[in-house]
Amino acid sequence: MKTVLTFSALCLLLSSGMMAQVLGDNEVLVVRERRGVTVSGGLQLAVPKGEFADNYGGYPFGVNASLSIPMLNLPFEIGGGFVWNGMGRSNRSVDILNTLSPEMNQGKLTVNGNAYTYQVHGRLRPFNGKFRPYGELFAGVRNFSIRSSLDLDNVNQASGDLLERDFTFLAGYAIGAKYQLTPGIFLEARFDTQAGSRATYVDPESVKIEQDGSFSYQTKSSRTDQWALSLGLAFSL
């Protein structure tokens, strides 16, 4: 009887130890597979296509940032992002008449075009290892603007004016991949194609600034379809 009790107690002890080990392994597995919030940022080069390429001579360069939030522990994420692209810039030194005293002030006048994009996305990311490819659908709005700014040598703050602004809607898809450099930090590359509605934007080759501070520019209007290539870093929280 004592032998049976001893053997039973030993089996119970071993079973408890094995169960604890299994639970421990599962807990470690859950921690490793947990999907966290991702913050990304980097550089972007846009390549106009179609009517946009015919009307705009250049490749808008800029920066992008995005936030992706996992849906529970599923391979789906939702989020949003922001992109700035420069649409052309011209500047030169100018002489401006001071309205308070009969003298000329020297400074620099800048006229530039910008594109600001605000978008939301839904992302499919099936893997959660060191290499993380994904596919994405997105939609949003883009704000095209033309601004002038005057920075005088003897004035602490520069003055700026918004000359024109136009909005366009956009939608598209993207494919990308992230590769882990160190725990929590990834190198990210992506390619996206965007269909944009018609908008008015500055023609960078038409901007002319005179010595006296006067300037002129031309605008163009077309659909704003484009491709974009991005490279940057992603931080998994």
Which stretches of the chain score pLDDT less than 70? 1-33, 98-102, 154-158
Residue 100, pLDDT score? 59
Residue 3, pLDDT score? 42
Residue 34, pLDDT score? 78
What residues contact residue 183 under an 8 Å CB cut-off, 6+ apart? none
Residue 211, pLDDT score? 86
Please give the Cα distance from 67 to 40 (Å, whole number).
6
Q: In angstroms, what CA-CA distances link 42 with 39, 83, 231?
A: 11, 10, 6
Whether the Cβ atoms of residue 156 and residue 125 lie closer than 8 Å to each other: no
Residue 156, pLDDT score? 61
Residue 15, pLDDT score? 42
The stretches of 34-171 forming alpha helices (DSSP H) are 51-55
Please give the Cα distance from 201 to 53 (Å, whole number).
13
Geometric angle at alpha carbon 191, from 121 and 122, rounded to 5°: 15
Residue 73, pLDDT score? 86
Structure-token pair, residue 59: 């490749």
What do you get for the CA distance between the two ends of the chain, in Å? 57
Could you report the per-residue pLDDT of 184-205, keeping only the tens digit for each? 999 999 999 999 999 999 998 8
